[in-house]
Amino acid sequence: MLKTKFTTPQIYNDLHMQLVTAQIPQGTKLRSEHLRDRYDCSANTIREVLFRLASAELVVFEEQRGFRAQPADRERLHHLTTFRVLLEQEGAATSIQKGGLEWEAQLSAAHHKLSHIEGRIDEARFDVAVLRLWSLAELEFHDTLISACGSPFLRSNYRRTYDQFRQQKIMQPDYGFHPENALEHQSIIDAALARDEPGCKRAIYEHMKRNLRDGGASGEHAP
Amino acid sequence: MLKTKFTTPQIYNDLHMQLVTAQIPQGTKLRSEHLRDRYDCSANTIREVLFRLASAELVVFEEQRGFRAQPADRERLHHLTTFRVLLEQEGAATSIQKGGLEWEAQLSAAHHKLSHIEGRIDEARFDVAVLRLWSLAELEFHDTLISACGSPFLRSNYRRTYDQFRQQKIMQPDYGFHPENALEHQSIIDAALARDEPGCKRAIYEHMKRNLRDGGASGEHAP
DNA sequence: ATTTCCAAAAATTTCGAAATTTTTTGGAAT
DNA sequence: ATTCCAAAAAATTTCGAAATTTTTGGAAAT
């Protein structure tokens, strides 16, 4: 294998990407020695990167016991989903109130990109490169949706939660792309552009409920 | 000065405490060399602790430029407040729905401790030891209030936000203890125990609005 | 007086190895 | 066969110093 010299931020980005696209399997122990070899740097540099990933909660750190990738856990996915629903409903509702033409335009653009990728996703459903593109486009769409809410902490906490959600979602043994997804995104943007707050909240809940413990049967966080 | 040997977690706790009680002034540069001297350990150990504090956002890290304590910033306090209001209103409302007798009992206990401390706070308003006790008791009260919401992520994100809020609040040049505080806490617990969701949300907003940009004049996040 | 440049000083980051701790292994006693 | 314990192996954490980068301070030029 070819060793290339990486800078610390590059190592961080590379590992982050691998974690949220499940190229590093659930619960894998992340040994400094192995990674040190892969990235051609000292154990200390790896340790530093792993600490940063632990702060993003993509990696679990235990004193004197090292680091491991977050294990796959349906319960965790459920809780990440309820929290995402809360933040996105609030962020979207406020954006609908406050957002202007610029927001609408950015939202259209993000949705256009996303639906273009979703349109040809069955051709290469499990291609890692496509998965990466789709993942970025999906995040951009949801982030743009809440981007006019005026609360930087809502956005940064949403972002952190989204990454953890994505990591869990992709790690689930029965993971697969749902074609309904594209329709659900359409419902969300339709309601948002129509300035329909309750409708948008409902569409967000409908989009995410399949990740809840009971598949959303209880309607617990429905608006 | 006496040098005592600290373990890494002790260094973390000590610095964390100093940061949220403003014993380390706003924007202070945190040099490895200086702290390394204070805690009698290597620069690397300090670096590790500072990374963890940066992940709690009490400390700002900039590549090649080191660490500094978060600067005092009214705008930041405003945004932390709106986010706290969102999480606490949601967490309290859900706890009111789901919480049982155990929750009520814990809430009473936390409020009792808090009001006992608040009762004698003017005697020693700026005593650091009292401030520390009060700060812990206030956090415990608010955390207990939302503790029956069933969402571990809501709680952990609230906790992170609270610490940042406390750091900002205490750093503000005009910081002082408000006697109304005790009454506001009373209103919150009264509404919570009466299972009055809208009332509790209103009380939470009233409790925090003085930290908003305009002192809450616009009523933006009122329920 | 202001700006630009350069060298010295100071701070941060990275390194390789030593010290510590956890985990595994293998043998003796129950 | 099972449990317990000690020794070996493996992994993590800490260290002191070297390498890199930023900051500082003063001299030269505008």
What would the pLDDT profile of A25-65 be if each residue is shown by its tens digit? Answer: 888 999 988 898 889 899 889 999 999 999 999 999 999 99
> Which chain B residue has the Cα nearest residue A164?
B153
Are B151 and A80 a contacting pair at CB < 8 A?
no
State yes or no: pLDDT of A1 exceeds 60: no
State yes or no: pLDDT of B161 exceeds 90: yes
- Nearest alpha carbon to residue B160 among B21, B19, B88, B56: B56
Q: Determine the 3-state secondary structure of A19 from DSSP.
A: helix
Share of chain A above pLDDT 70, in %: 92
- Nearest alpha carbon to residue A197 among A99, A125, A113: A99
Q: What is the mean pLDDT of chain A?
A: 91
CA atoms within 13 A on the CB side of A223: 21
Q: Nearest CA of chain B to the CA of A114: how many Å?
A: 28
Q: What pLDDT sits at residue B182?
A: 93
Contact A41, A30 (CB under 8 A): no
Average pLDDT for A171-183: 86
Strand D, nucleotides < 7 Å from a protein CB: these are: 11-17, 21-23
Q: Length of chain A, please?
A: 223
Q: Point out the nucleotide closest to A34 (alpha carbon to C1′).
A: D11
Q: Point out the nucleotide closest to B35 (alpha carbon to C1′).
A: C11
| A66-CA/C20-C1' distance, Å | 14
Quote the tokens at residue A114: 């996303």
Contact B162, B99 (CB under 8 A): no
State yes or no: pLDDT of A15 exceeds 90: yes
**H-helix segments, chain B:** 8-20, 32-39, 43-55, 74-98, 101-119, 128-145, 152-171, 180-193, 197-208
Mutation for testing the B interface, residue in A83, A149, A156 having most B CBs under 10 Å? A83
Amino acid letter, residue A111: H
State yes or no: pLDDT of B204 exceeds 70: yes
Domains and CATH numbers, chain A: 8-69 (1.10.10.10), 74-211 (1.20.120.530)
Torsion of CA A25, A26, A29, A35, to 10 degrees: 30
Q: Point out the nucleotide closest to B65 (alpha carbon to C1′).
A: C12
d(CA B223, CA B219): 9
| B41-CA/D16-C1' distance, Å | 11
Element (H, E) at A193: helix A180-193
A154 touches chain B (CB under 8 A): yes
Amino acid letter, residue A105: A
Average pLDDT for A174-193: 92
Share of chain A above pLDDT 90, in %: 68
Are B83 and A54 a contacting pair at CB < 8 A?
no
Q: Nearest CA of chain A to the CA of B58: how many Å?
A: 13
State yes or no: pLDDT of B123 exceeds 70: no
Average pLDDT for A72-79: 96
Q: How confident is the model at residue B181 (pLDDT cuts 50, 70, 90)?
A: very high
Edge-to-edge strands, sheet with A66-69: A29-30, A66-69, A59-62
State yes or no: pLDDT of A216 exceeds 80: no
> Which chain B residue has the Cα nearest residue A90?
B86
In degrees, rounded to 5, the angle at the alpha carbon of residue A53 between the alpha carbons of residues A49 and A58 is 150
Q: What pLDDT sits at residue B173?
A: 81
Q: What pLDDT sits at residue A123?
A: 63
Amino acid letter, residue A138: E
Q: What pLDDT sits at residue B160?
A: 97
State yes or no: pLDDT of B42 exceeds 60: yes
Give per-residue pLDDT as tens, A88-136. 999 999 999 999 999 999 999 999 999 999 988 766 566 778 888 899 9
Contact A130, B130 (CB under 8 A): no
Q: What pLDDT sits at residue B2?
A: 40
User: Chain B neighbours among A 115-144 (CB < 8 Å)?
Assistant: none
Q: What pLDDT sits at residue B1?
A: 42
Give per-residue pLDDT as tens, A193-207. 999 999 999 999 999
